Amino acid sequence: MQTFDVAIVGGGPAGSSCAAFCAMAGLETLVLERARFPREKVCGDCLNPSCWRVLERLGLTQRVWGLSHSKLTSVDFIAIDGRKVSVNLPTGNHCELSIKRSLFDDLLLKRACELGAHVREGTTVTALVHDQDWKIETATRERFRARILIGADGRNSTVARLRNLLPRPERERVALQAHIPLPLNFDQRIVLQFLREGYSGQAPVNENELNLCLVGKPSTISRLRHWAQRQFEIPANQRWRTITPLARSSVPCAHENLLFIGDAARVVEPFTGEGIYYALRSGELVARTIAKIISGKDRQSALREFSGASAEIYRGRLWINRLARTAVLSPRVASLFIQAARPQSILDSLTAKIVSPKL
Ligand SMILES: Cc1cc2nc3c(=O)[nH]c(=O)nc-3n(C[C@H](O)[C@H](O)[C@H](O)COP(=O)(O)OP(=O)(O)OC[C@H]3O[C@@H](n4cnc5c(N)ncnc54)[C@H](O)[C@@H]3O)c2cc1C
């Protein structure tokens, strides 16, 4: 059996980015992905402008522009009573785009493959044994072997669960998502709408479709669905994708020969639309660490460096994440803020911080 330098569980943005950068560094790289791509994923489909720098380093900028997309020019924050504050988004090449995850994730995984990573789709990891190397078993009883293992398998990480590292979910919420026909005159905007029962995020993903997300508590989610049916005239039998939990504590990202990236390491509040960036960037950072370990550099210092660099990408942003969480858990309070005398300048500067370029 071949021993890979690195096996990555999960081929979302974190896993694909890691695989692409590992393959670029000449490492024998394996990706094990449960789904068969292209597949959709519960997400607002919005790419924070910071993604561009990582996409450039992946050699993907032009190909991303070539995917069916919407160029987003503003965000509307809408209070429960309908009052609205609009904030402009950056313009130019480093603007905010929305792209269906079926297209974006497929492009990333194909890029990893093109650069030399071995990709196995339709392959669910179910068991792990660690002695000198990692022995990885799948639902179809296939076995793989690798020196370093990466958990890039999202918020309900199987790798973290199998290693007894998965924290309990926090205050439970649930998200629903669907692509529905784009309402007339919707424009190139993101809508973040507070509702009594939770909130809704909306963004056009192309000329014909709107990404519609609903986030609420299990007790309110069916009322949110009914609101969406009335608001967007969608049929009662609309198919929704669903995901839970929305929040949980982070998993320490660096262990002996085992590292976590993207949502598997830290789940951020979806409201600010930054998760894909953190996934891409953490995939890039971990690839450097793996290359150092495989080339025989001091393992402990490489792991410490990765922990520090991972913490750094969230530095100065976690308070925004906490603020967003407080707002969405108390939509009435958030609405009072939007209705208040001067929310414009505060929302302008908060949005500018969220969309400001990062490495
Ligand atoms: C409602 C909502 C809206 C959001 N909106 C946005 C937004 O607009 N912009 C933004 O940037 N972020 C948004 N996010 C966050 C974003 O979706 C995530 O941060 C991002 O997908 C994380 O990428 P990842 O690669 O870490 O994990 P994922 O994208 O979850 O990928 C994990 C992969 O692992 C695979 N996998 C899982 N288990 C196994 C297993 N046992 N074996 C093999 N493979 C496995 C899965 O099939 C999946 O492909 C939103 C999240 C939610 C819930």
> Is any ligand 1 atom within 6 A of the Cβ of residue 46?
yes
37 Cβ neighbours under 8 A, 6+ residues apart:
11, 102, 105, 106, 109, 121
What residue owns the CA closest to ligand 1's atom 27?
Answer: 154
**Best probe residue, ligand 1, of 99, 120, 153 (max atoms within 8 Å of C-beta):** 153
**Best probe residue, ligand 1, of 8, 41, 248 (max atoms within 8 Å of C-beta):** 41
Residue 17's pLDDT is what?
Answer: 98
Per DSSP, what are the bridge partners of residue 213? Answer: 177, 201
Atom from ligand 1 closest to the CA of residue 268: 19
Burial 287-322 (b: 16+ CB within 10 A, else e): bbbbbbbbeeeeeeebbebbeebbeebbeebeebbe
Atom from ligand 1 closest to the CA of residue 213: 1
Residue 276's pLDDT is what?
Answer: 98
Q: Which two tokens stand for residue 135?
A: 């022995």
Per DSSP, what are the bridge partners of residue 195? Answer: 198
CA end-to-end span of the chain: 38
Residue 310's pLDDT is what?
Answer: 95
Give me ligand 1 centre to Cα 345, in Å.
Answer: 32
Give me ligand 1 centre to Cα 336, in Å.
Answer: 32
Residue 119's pLDDT is what?
Answer: 98
Single-letter amino acid code for the residue at 123: T
C-alpha span between 325 and 247 (Å, rounded): 9
Enumerate the H helices of the chain as residue ranges.
Answer: 13-24, 51-57, 61-65, 101-114, 158-162, 221-232, 275-294, 299-314, 318-329, 331-339, 343-355
Question: Which residues, given as ranges, of the chain have pLDDT below 50?
Answer: none
Residue 123's pLDDT is what?
Answer: 98
Residue 335's pLDDT is what?
Answer: 86
φ/ψ of 75, rounded to 5, equals -120, 130
> Is any ligand 1 atom within 6 A of the Cβ of residue 13?
yes
What residue owns the CA closest to ligand 1's atom 31?
Answer: 12
Our measurement of the distance from residue 231's CA atom to the centroid of its chain's CA atoms, rounded to an integer in Å, reads 27
Atom from ligand 1 closest to the CA of residue 10: 34
Residue 341's pLDDT is what?
Answer: 59
C-alpha span between 153 and 43 (Å, rounded): 15
φ/ψ of 279, rounded to 5, equals -65, -50
Give me ligand 1 centre to Cα 264, in Å.
Answer: 9
> Is any ligand 1 atom within 6 A of the Cβ of residue 269?
no
The pTM for the full model equals 0.96
